[in-house]
Structure 1
Amino acid sequence: MTITQLKYVLAVAENQNFTKAAQKTFVTQPTLSMQIQKLEEELDILIFDRSKKPIELTVVGQKIVRQARNIVNESERMQDVVDQEKGYIGGDFHIGIIPTVMPTLLPMFLRNFTNKYPKVHLKIEELTTEDIIKKLKDGHLDAAIAATPLEQENIKERPIYYEPFVGYVPKSHRLNENKKINSEDLDLDDLLLLEDGHCFRDGVINLCKSKNAIQNDKFQLQSGSFETLIKLSNEGLGMTLLPYLHTLDLTEVQKEKLRYFNEPSPAREVSLIYNNSELKMQIVNAMYDVIAGVIRGAIRFEDVKIVSPLK
C-alpha cells in the first residue's frame, strides 16, 4: 500500500470516473487502474463497483476512502511540520471565497500578499458557501473566506472582520428622508435581494421582522449581482442592502442614496475558515495577518450587531 495508491482512490471516488481521475492526477488511465487494482488485491476487497455508471464506492470502499483521506492528510502534515520548523512560507495554496466578498476584498489584499509572500502559489476560486464546506471537508481547499458562523464539524472559523450592512435608498422610497435607518424599518415587500443561495441574502432576511417568502406581483428577480440591485433601485423598484465594503467604490451620486443604520449597526461576520487538520497553518496565519491589516483601515465601525445567515 502506498500514499500514491490512496491518492488515486480518492481521485476516483471524487470524479466517479477512472479517466477523469487519471487526468486530475496526471497519470495515464491504465496506470491509475492498475495501481487501484493492486491495492484491492492486497486488501482482498473491492473498493469500487465498476458495474455502475457512474462508478460507485462499495460499502467497504466508503470506509476505505474515509481512512485514505486521513492518511493522505497526515502524510502531507509531515512536510507541513518541516516547513513550519524552517519558517518556510511557500508552496501551493488553494483558497475559496464567497461571491459577495470576493469582488471587494480580493483586490484589497492580493497584491500585498503576493508581494510579501512570493513563494506562495495561490489558486483562488469563487465558490458558494455550500461548495466551500464540501471542498474543505474533502481536502480540495486549504482555506476559505466566508460569512460565519457556519458551525460545521471539523471546520475551524477565525473571524477577520465585521462588515456592516448599509441601505441603498432611491429618492422615491419611503425611507429616503431618513438620515439613518433601523432594522425595524425594513420591509421585504420593497427590498431587492440577491438570488437564493447567497448567505448575504439570508442574513438580510434574518434581519427583517418578516420571515415570510417574498411575494411580488410585478416581477421575480434572480440576480447574483449587487450592481443589478443598485440599477433596479435607481429605477425606483425598491431599496436594497449592501455590504459596507461594496459601498466604497460607488459614485458620489450613488453615495448620496446610502443610509447607515443606527447603532448597533447590523453586520456580518467574515472569517478565514479551514479544516481542523490545520495543514499549511503558516500560510493561513500569513493570510490572516495581511487581510486583517488591510481591513483595519477600511472598516472603522466598532458598535455592530452580528446578523447570522438563516439556519
Structure 2
Amino acid sequence: MTITQLYYVLAVAEHQNFTKAAEKCFVTQPTLSMQIQKLEDELDVQIFDRSKKPIELTDVGRKIVTQAKNIVNESYRIQDIVDQQKGFIGGEFKIGIIPTVMPTLLPMFLKSFIKKYPKIKLKIEELTTEEIISRINDGHLDAAIVSTPLGNDNIKERVLYYEPFVGYIPNHHRLHQSGKIQISDLEIDDMLLLEDGHCFRDGVINLCKAFKDHTDDPFQLESGSIETLIKLSDEGLGMTLLPYLHTLNLNDKEKQNLHYFVEPAPAREVSIIYHKSELKMQIIEALQSVISGIIRGAIAFENVQIISPLPK
C-alpha cells in the first residue's frame, strides 16, 4: 500500500470517474486504474462499484476513503515540518472568503501580504460558508475567512476582528431621525436582506429575533449583494444593515444615512478557519498577523455583542 495509491483512490471518490481522476492526478488513466486495482487486490476488497454510472464507493470503500484522507493529510504534514525547520514560508495556498468579507477585506491586506511573503502563491475563491466548510473537510481549501463561531469539531478558528453592524436608514424611513439606534428598534418586516445562503443574512435575522417573536419572515426583497441592498433602500423599499467595513467606501450622501447602534453594538466575529489537522500553519499564522495588524487601524470598536452567523 502506498500514499500514491490512496491519493488516486481519493481522486476517483471525488470525481466518480477514472478518466477525470487521472487528469487531476496528472497520470494516464491506465496507470491510475492499475494502481487502484493493485490496492484492491492487496486488501482483498472492492473499493469501487464499477458497474454503477457514475462509479460509487462500496460500503468498505467509504470507510477506506475516510481513513485515506487522514493518511494523505498526515503525509503532507512531513513537508510542513521540513518547511518550518528551514524557515520557508511559501508554496501554493488555497483560501476561501465569504462574499460579505471579500470586497472590503481583500483590498486592505492583499498587496501588503504579497509584498511581505512573495514566495506564497495565494489562490483565492469567493464562496459561501457552507461551500467553504465542505471544501476544507475535503482538503480542497487550506483555510478560509468567514463569520464565526461555527461550532464545527473538524475546524479550528482564529479570530481576526469584530465588525459591528451599522444601520443604513434612508430619509423616508421611520428611524431616519433617530440618533443612535437600538436592537429593539428593528422590525424584520421592513428589513432588506441578502439572499439565503449568506451568513450575514442569518446574523441579521438572529439579531431581530432576539427581541421579537416572529413565526413568519415576510421579507419584501432579497438581494445577492450589499451594494444592491443600499440602492433598494435608497428607492424607499426599506432599511438594511451593513458590516462596518462596507460603510468606509460609501459616498458622502450615502454616509448621511448611516446610524450606529448604542453600545454594546451588535457585531460579527470574523475569523480565519482551517482543518483540525493544522496543515500549513506557518502560512495561516502569516495571514493572521498581516490581517490583524492592518485591521486594527480600521476598526476601533471594542464594546460589542457578537451575533451568531448560524441559522436558527
- TM tier, smaller: over 0.9
Deviations 1:68-88 (A, max 9, x none): 111111111011001111111
Deviations 1:211-243 (A, max 9, x none): 433215xxx534210011000000010000000
What is the deviation of 1:4?
1.2
Contact 2:268 2:307 survives alignment (8 Å): yes
Specify the alignment match of 2:170 in structure 1: 170
What is the deviation of 1:91?
0.8
- Alignment RMSD, CA only? 1.1
Contact 2:192 2:222 survives alignment (8 Å): no
What is the deviation of 1:179?
1.3
1:83 and 1:204 mapped to 2: Cα distance? 42
What is the deviation of 1:20?
1.7
Greater displacement, 258-267 / 29-38: 29-38
Specify the alignment match of 2:181 in structure 1: 181
What is the deviation of 1:40?
1.0
Specify the alignment match of 1:207 in structure 2: 207
What is the deviation of 1:137?
1.1
Secondary structure of the residue that 2:30 maps to in structure 1?
Answer: helix
1:118 and 1:291 mapped to 2: Cα distance? 16
Matches within 5 A, 1:4-15: 4-15=4-15
What is the deviation of 1:28?
2.0
Q: Is 1:29 matched with 2:29?
A: yes
Specify the alignment match of 2:152 in structure 1: 152
Deviations 1:237-262 (A, max 9, x none): 00000000011100010000000001
Q: What stretches of structure 1 move > 6 A for 4+ residues in a row?
A: none
1:181 and 1:212 mapped to 2: Cα distance? 24
1:298 and 1:17 mapped to 2: Cα distance? 48
What is the deviation of 1:21?
1.3
Specify the alignment match of 1:275 in structure 2: 275
Specify the alignment match of 1:93 in structure 2: 93
What residue identity is the alignment partner of 1:65?
Answer: V
**Which consecutive residues of structure 1, in runs of 5 or more, have no partner in the other structure?**
none
2:125 and 2:22 mapped to 1: Cα distance? 22
Specify the alignment match of 2:38 in structure 1: 38
TM-score by length of 2: 0.96
Specify the alignment match of 1:239 in structure 2: 239
Percent identity reads 72
Secondary structure of the residue that 1:262 maps to in structure 2?
Answer: coil
Contact 2:47 2:57 survives alignment (8 Å): yes
What residue identity is the alignment partner of 1:132?
Answer: I
Matches within 5 A, 1:1-311: 1-208=1-208, 209-210=211-212, 211-216=214-219, 221-309=221-309, 310-311=311-312
What residue identity is the alignment partner of 2:239?
Answer: M
What is the deviation of 1:99?
0.9
Secondary structure of the residue that 2:45 maps to in structure 1?
Answer: coil
2:187 and 2:20 mapped to 1: Cα distance? 49
What is the deviation of 1:191?
0.5
Report how many aligned residue pairs link the two structures. Answer: 308
1:213 and 1:269 mapped to 2: Cα distance? 27
1:145 and 1:26 mapped to 2: Cα distance? 30
What residue identity is the alignment partner of 2:115?
Answer: N
Deviations 1:80-128 (A, max 9, x none): 0011111110011111111111111111111111110000111111111
CA shift in 2, pair 1:27/1:213, >3 Å: farther
